[in-house]
A and B are shown apart, each in its own frame.
Chain A
Amino acid sequence: MLHRSFHVEIRTPEQLVYEGDVMSIRAPGIEGNFEILAEHLPFLTALDIGEIRIQESETPQLIAVSGGVFEVLRTGVTALVETAEWASEIDVERAENALSRAQAQLEANAPDLNRPRAEAALARAKNRLEVASST
């Protein structure tokens, strides 16, 4: 009973990232990480920048995501996120470049700097590096 599987779909506007049956899914809610098992009640929440961890069997799989919506229905779970990258596919070099570029922009503090955008870019790059290093 405890380890029944359920259907999960993870989508970005650009593509289907994951679809399949899992034992559990852990996601970064904006009020803290949470984990969903089978037979959960209908649940709607917002996701923060962080990692989604899905467990089909023994080894968990990690996806770096940046913000979105997470819906649990009796028929399964759907996560709609704006960006998603499998941990194994993260281009560490690119993420590092994005990180240093965002840091440089914030430090230079030019008058036409779009601060929220630069800060969001910084947070996304940090998250990708963290997720990539935890595999």
Chain B
Amino acid sequence: MATLREIRRRISSVQNIQQVTDAMRVVAAAKLRRAQENINATRPYADKLNTILGHLISRMDTETEALTHPLLEEREVKHVCIISVSGDRGLCGSFNSNVIRTTTQRVEHYQESGAEVTLICIGRRSQEHFARRGYDITDAYTNIFRALEFQTAVDVVHEFEHLYTEKKIDKVEVIYNNFKSAILQTVLVEQLLPLVPEFPEGDTLFLDYIYEPGQVELFELLLSKHLNMQMWKVLLDSNAAEQAARMAAMENATQKAKELIDELILQRNRARQTQITTEISEIVSGASALEG
């Protein structure tokens, strides 16, 4: 049985932890709100880009032009590039470990089918994990989530886009936590290259544009902008998911701390009572000995 003083010390230390986890929950909640605002701010740009792309495709002879574009070309998969998006910090439940586990599975899956795999790691957690285990990492981006910039997405895309067009890799996939809602995040595996043509149907009533330079050049430009946008969405989503996961984890921790404190208080009272009982019986037995 722990002594009264030990129990008191434990209670105060658990209370301190509870304060910290609660503060972290509040911070994560604030960051989550900002991350969600960022996602919303992106939507009009993405929608407009898709509309323009849709207009353009509706006016193009897709059989001959669009499908021969290098970023749409499907090749035999000999070398895969996987972008693994984790966070920079822990204490966010299974956020990082889910991404790392899924990435490991994908890597094994491709290696079994005889393809080589290269990684691009985003976030310190995945970078450290895979670097320690000797994976082939072409590029890593760490500490980017604190002040997330669109330029980072452009840099990442630039990195794998030129590897793809030089035919050093035949497929690009991204693995990240998708932000469904504040309570639900799921790990997604998405193919970035070759581009999956899932563009909106063009408005057939739409009159044609005047193009400058040509239609094909603009199509190429729009495709690469589209790719940048997809990468940007992945980063924003992962960021929001990380904050949501941390918020949930910290809420859980605070709750657990509360339960532990209740339990300890019970123990403390019991110990105190035992101590008092012992003292009383000592006094009583001492007094009766004197009367003896």
Chain A positions within 8 Å of B, measured between CB atoms, are: 11-16, 29-31, 41-46, 68-69, 71-72, 78, 80, 82-83, 114, 116-117
Total count of chain B residues near the partner, CB < 8 A: 33
Establish whether residues A44 and B45, one from each chain, have CB atoms under 8 Å apart when the complex forms. Answer: no
Establish whether residues B150 and A80, one from each chain, have CB atoms under 8 Å apart when the complex forms. Answer: no
In the assembled complex, which residues on chain B have CB atoms less than 8 Å from the CB atom of A11? 44-45, 48
Distance A78 CA – B150 CA, assembled complex (angstroms): 19
Establish whether residues A44 and B44, one from each chain, have CB atoms under 8 Å apart when the complex forms. Answer: no
When A14-B38, A15-B41, A83-B150 are in contact, do A46 and B213 touch as well, CB less than 8 Å? yes
Q: What 0/1 readout, one digit per residue, does chain B (7-49) give for beta carbons within 8 Å of chain A? A: 0000000000000000000000000000000100110111011
Establish whether residues A30 and B213, one from each chain, have CB atoms under 8 Å apart when the complex forms. Answer: yes
Establish whether residues B49 and A69, one from each chain, have CB atoms under 8 Å apart when the complex forms. Answer: yes
Sample 19 A-B pairs with CB under 8 A, ordered by A number. A12-B45, A12-B150, A13-B45, A13-B46, A13-B150, A14-B38, A14-B41, A14-B42, A30-B213, A42-B208, A42-B210, A44-B52, A44-B55, A44-B56, A45-B212, A46-B217, A69-B49, A69-B218, A71-B48
Distance A29 CA – B212 CA, assembled complex (angstroms): 8
Establish whether residues B228 and A80, one from each chain, have CB atoms under 8 Å apart when the complex forms. Answer: no
9 closest A-B pairs (Cβ-Cβ)? A44-B209, A45-B212, A42-B209, A43-B210, A11-B45, A13-B150, A46-B221, A13-B45, A13-B42
When A11-B45, A13-B232, A45-B218 are in contact, do A82 and B154 touch as well, CB less than 8 Å? yes
Establish whether residues B207 and A42, one from each chain, have CB atoms under 8 Å apart when the complex forms. Answer: yes
- In angstroms, how far is the closest chain B Cβ from the Cβ of A127? 14
Classify the secondary structure of B's interface with A: helix
Chain B positions within 8 Å of A, measured between CB atoms, are: 38, 41-42, 44-46, 48-49, 52, 55-56, 150-151, 154-155, 158-159, 162, 207-213, 217-218, 221-222, 225, 228-229, 232
Establish whether residues A31 and B213, one from each chain, have CB atoms under 8 Å apart when the complex forms. Answer: yes
In the assembled complex, which residues on chain A have CB atoms less than 8 Å from the CB atom of B213? 30-31, 45-46
Distance A83 CA – B151 CA, assembled complex (angstroms): 9
In the assembled complex, which residues on chain B have CB atoms less than 8 Å from the CB atom of A13? 42, 45-46, 150, 228-229, 232
Which of B56, B158, B225 is A117 in contact with, Cβ under 8 Å?
A: B158
Establish whether residues B212 and A117, one from each chain, have CB atoms under 8 Å apart when the complex forms. Answer: no
When A13-B45, A14-B38, A16-B44 are in contact, do A44 and B150 touch as well, CB less than 8 Å? no
Distance A14 CA – B34 CA, assembled complex (angstroms): 12
Distance A69 CA – B162 CA, assembled complex (angstroms): 21
Distance A82 CA – B56 CA, assembled complex (angstroms): 20
Give the one of B217, B225, B228 with max A CB within 10 A: B225
